[in-house]
Structure 1
């Protein structure tokens, strides 16, 4: 067959300026696809520039000095490969993984050198190198020899994919075959570079064939070495087994009695322990296994730990319970001020316990804002009952195994938190406090709240099954108390197992009592002080409560008082103790604590149209909620802002519908809304707000703005509104009235159905507030608008009435109070 020359398309490649990336000990060949990890900043910038401005093309050239971190022109070979970026993946450690495809050989111009158009991004002028291939009998013979050797190499190497082998086998040109085979050979990079720089394709393929034969010999030798090492390892294993037999012989001769003594000791503990029959049988079987196991085996340790857990749990050990109701009452009152409802429930349980031998352990859920004393109340309950106290924090628990434990088949398996905690106590009837039960979460490892159902269900927890123990454990004698800040994040089935007891926020009077009788006696010794060193006036404590804390509990109050104690302690250390104590009064508080953090009394300074004051419930207690409405000429657009939830936005739309339905009564045109734009805003826009209880506040603010009549600034309101104007009941009334009292509000409008809830509000709060109950929105407007009108203006059923806007300006009588 005559010789035939085939020209490569790279003959016609002109000079092109490209980003340049240098490679360490790697040579890129045309028509090869190679993944590389890139970490150098200059290389990353070159890749990014190639992606953005050069159609993913980049010039790759190998360093002749691989140790150079910032290679100079002399550190680089002259011949490289113009490549295309196929794929890029950014890794967490800052490096990137890039998949390159070689296109054609190219030389970079040393005359023009390496330029940096962008700081840190090298650029070179690359010229494609002409490439030719030959079809000749000699070339075909060499191609067949290379392909046969490559198949032999692939069998022993196992790293060349079948798809790659199929693609290489289809090549019938020596130059292209050499370029495709070289990237798969483990040869030094200078030898690869020499093949890359070889212009004659036949010579290039001959060099490749030579290297391929060397690689086959090396791989064969490597397999022999591995086989020899494997045989050596097998001999070592045989020696290990022989040593174990020797140990067994020594044990029979009495030279290894420690393990036998340990098993005998476990049997004695089992005989002395009061265990259920099932647990006793299981433990005896496991101890029998221990006798048959060598102490050095891994299984011995696993079984030994399992037996330990069974023997150290208080299965039937019960601590006598203190049933002195009077003493329990004194302990609860001594530790906590107020909180009458939880205390009453505890005393009821003790009373029942004194009359019956056994009752199912109650599951109480103390729900309230942070800092009201939920966890400390659980601790006081344990002290009042004479039981041990165990606290388990469930905040952030995601894994179901944290409750039920891991099965023993897993390495490092352990029981769940319930069984672990029971091992730390000496009896089976402690008081368990499951803290932050509302902060558990769910992921692929299971639902821990669902696992708690078995723990907290009195009908099931007499036979609680932990995955590690694989035995039924009786939890019915345990007194479980759970704590939570909110109920909405606790699943319904779990709530159904618990008795909910709400702990509302403290009143100012209660906080002052707590500060005097509970916080100060604890803070002074903690800071090395006594009553002769520091004292607080009532005005100072009230100032801290009002202007430096905004909370339902007393946690921040304690923190601020501790800050003052630290400053006084420093003064005592620097100046010595004085005969007179440091008296912190109202005017001195800012000296110690700085500028007040909060404004006390947030009601509006004067009555204004379109501004109404509502009441909201939050996790930290009650808050005043201002609602503002502004009207502008427009086309009927309604904008609602203030980061309101879906329910509150629906309340705003319902309020607008109510106002439109009463337009005749209000003296407004039936299509008044088409000529104006309405903007409803609730200040403190960064705070999320939701709930239906702002319905009447939104309706009042809208009506006030449309009639240009001010809303009384000393009045607050709460209630849900319907499209017909009915006022529906709301929740959290006690906290809302506390917020109204704190905000210097004198009159509060509430739904008539909430009148029954006033029994839970302290008398001193009700004494300072005028409570008005309403059933319809018309009654709300009678009370809220700052112009005296008669109630019948809103309550009249006839349609033949004077427009409200004229009557409001005409009448000057005081509104009726319910």
Structure 2
């Protein structure tokens, strides 16, 4: 197995023990399993890297639509590797919502480089031994996931995907995230210590790639060792192109159906995207296309017909009534109802915030499964309006003699974060002064007690959600102006994007006295 000298000595020592141990003893089987593992581990065998960056670019373009910035960063990363002959000091972490292509990007990189690909999912891993293995003194001891993956790869330089790195947990059995520090640190992973192996193992030639949905759940020391490459949610136009270029042919091949026996037009795919899916990626869309093709095959075989054409007139007979209506804009302006913009694990979404008041003692009632940060945002918005009541023509007694009720619909869905501050302030002002809010305006931004609007995250996703929901104008914090260029052009040209510095500017744009 071309082992290093120290490992070879260890193996010979264990072999000597094995030969002197009666085969009937349990110890004999333990030693044999260990020796088998030593021999199966790659020590020097490496696959030869392709140095053709053009081939890498073509592989990425073939399997992934769009994602230009992400692809560019991957090419830069690999260019440095080719130039220096060793892995760059940073580990790439693909972060983004489910279904946007994080895992398939890693597979494409392995394919383009001509390396073996190995994947270990870290979701739900609680025990440090899952990473480092168990000492051989334990019954049923096994190596950790890292060395198990290396054994499966059979080479010392695979592309090793550590999936769902944000889903690791810790308990009394240790913290697996701390064990990952050694794996992902280029300064330390030349001598990775696995309890089962009992000898250092060199991981320095492995190209580690990690994926995560929520970066907030990744411990800071671990995050510090990785370079974050963000994959954001796809626009409807991008999903349409992905369905036409990749998903449709993939599902036809998987189901053995010829392309000339099945067709679906662009308008119908777009209708499916809008009314049957609500996701950041394309997993559900892929499943629906697969379902359509299965139904088409059944019809072709049972009814002995040559071809199935899916269009807007017959789509419902195949996949049922629409599940979602994305056009959430109200038919008319309302009092105390404002369109907020939210960023979730599934991409962007619009959030309708409702405020009303009734006789009471000046309390603030919050419903809709709101998190602590969002509750505090509502308190900040109310305090700001109380302290600036005269400026906005609010009768101060309205806050003393009434209870204000803030509700965010879809009560079973948890909501949190500070970016609804301006939305809450606008809704409370609208209710307190009996003024209408423009129905086609959406907004996002954190609010301070002095009325300033602070920057937020996920602007691209929020803008896509606003566009999808039929909003015409969005109000964003001035400091987020730099992020406008990340918004896809087809969304930008149909949205009026207004950067604001204070809530006064928000009120001027959103509130109308009468309709």
The list of structure 1 runs, each at least 4 consecutive aligned residues, that deviate by more than 6 angstroms after superposition, is none
Rounded Cα–Cα distance in structure 2 between residues aligned with 1:319 and 1:437: 26
What secondary structure does 2:179 align onto?
helix
Q: Is the 8 A contact 2:193 2:199 kept in 1?
A: yes
Q: CA deviation at 1:700?
A: 0.5
Aligned to 1:606: 332
Aligned to 2:461: 735
- Which one of the candidate residues 513, 518, 521 is aligned to 2:246? 518
Q: Deviations over 1:480-531 (max 9, x none)?
A: 1111111122222211121111110111111000100101111112223122
- Which one of the candidate residues 544, 552, 555 is aligned to 2:283? 555
Q: Judge which range, 558-567 or 273-282, deviates more.
A: 273-282
Rounded Cα–Cα distance in structure 1 between residues aligned with 2:377 and 2:89: 43
Q: CA deviation at 1:536?
A: 0.8
1:636 aligns with 2:362: yes
Rounded Cα–Cα distance in structure 2 between residues aligned with 1:637 and 1:421: 57
Aligned to 2:486: 760
Q: CA deviation at 1:309?
A: 1.6
Q: Deviations over 1:85-125 (max 9, x none)?
A: xxxxxxxxxxxxxxxxxxxxxxxxxxxxxxxxxxxxxxxxx
Aligned to 1:771: 497
Rounded Cα–Cα distance in structure 2 between residues aligned with 1:684 and 1:359: 47
Rounded Cα–Cα distance in structure 1 between residues aligned with 2:36 and 2:294: 48
Q: CA deviation at 1:659?
A: 0.8
Q: Deviations over 1:235-263 (max 9, x none)?
A: xxxxxxxxxxxxxxxxxxxxxxxxxxxxx
Rounded Cα–Cα distance in structure 1 between residues aligned with 2:131 and 2:164: 14
1:407 aligns with 2:116: no
Rounded Cα–Cα distance in structure 2 between residues aligned with 1:607 and 1:688: 27
Q: Is the 8 A contact 1:637 1:676 kept in 2?
A: yes
1:339 aligns with 2:67: yes
Q: Is the 8 A contact 1:543 1:589 kept in 2?
A: no
Q: CA deviation at 1:298?
A: 2.8
- Which one of the candidate residues 171, 193, 198 is aligned to 1:465? 193
What secondary structure does 1:587 align onto?
coil
1:682 aligns with 2:408: yes
Aligned to 2:11: 283
Q: Is the 8 A contact 1:610 1:704 kept in 2?
A: yes
Rounded Cα–Cα distance in structure 2 between residues aligned with 1:592 and 1:617: 32
Rounded Cα–Cα distance in structure 2 between residues aligned with 1:526 and 1:317: 35
Q: Deviations over 1:268-326 (max 9, x none)?
A: xxxxx322232122122222323433333332222222222222211122211011011
What secondary structure does 2:341 align onto?
strand
Rounded Cα–Cα distance in structure 1 between residues aligned with 2:433 and 2:419: 23
Q: CA deviation at 1:361?
A: 6.1
Aligned to 1:441: 169
Q: Judge which range, 539-548 or 527-536, deviates more.
A: 527-536
Aligned to 1:618: 344
Rounded Cα–Cα distance in structure 1 between residues aligned with 2:418 and 2:187: 37
1:697 aligns with 2:402: no
Q: Is the 8 A contact 2:349 2:465 kept in 1?
A: yes
Q: CA deviation at 1:594?
A: 0.9
Rounded Cα–Cα distance in structure 1 between residues aligned with 2:400 and 2:502: 27
Aligned to 2:470: 744
1:425-440 to structure 2, matched below 5 A, reads 425-440=153-168
Q: CA deviation at 1:743?
A: 0.5
1:720 aligns with 2:446: yes
Aligned to 1:479: 207
Q: CA deviation at 1:540?
A: 0.5
Q: CA deviation at 1:472?
A: 0.5
1:382 aligns with 2:123: no
Aligned to 2:25: 297
Equivalent pairs counted in the alignment come to 515
Question: Which has the higher Rg, Structure 1 or Structure 2?
Answer: 1
1:591 aligns with 2:324: no
Measured on the aligned residues, the alpha-carbon RMSD in Å equals: 1.5
Q: List alignment gaps of at least 5 residues for structure 2.
A: none
Aligned to 1:454: 182
Q: Deviations over 1:441-482 (max 9, x none)?
A: 222222222211111111111110100111110101101111
Q: CA deviation at 1:587?
A: 2.8
- Which one of the candidate residues 82, 104, 113 is aligned to 1:354? 82
Q: Is the 8 A contact 2:333 2:438 kept in 1?
A: yes
1:496 aligns with 2:202: no
**Distance verdict in 2 for CA 1:686–1:291, change over 3 Å:** closer
Question: TM-score normalised to the size of structure 1?
Answer: 0.62
What secondary structure does 1:412 align onto?
coil
Q: Deviations over 1:753-786 (max 9, x none)?
A: 0000112111111101001011001010110012
Aligned to 1:368: 96
Rounded Cα–Cα distance in structure 2 between residues aligned with 1:285 and 1:467: 18
Q: CA deviation at 1:378?
A: 0.8
Rounded Cα–Cα distance in structure 2 between residues aligned with 1:418 and 1:411: 20
Aligned to 2:397: 671
What secondary structure does 1:301 align onto?
helix
Q: Is the 8 A contact 1:361 1:480 kept in 2?
A: no
Q: Is the 8 A contact 1:726 1:776 kept in 2?
A: yes
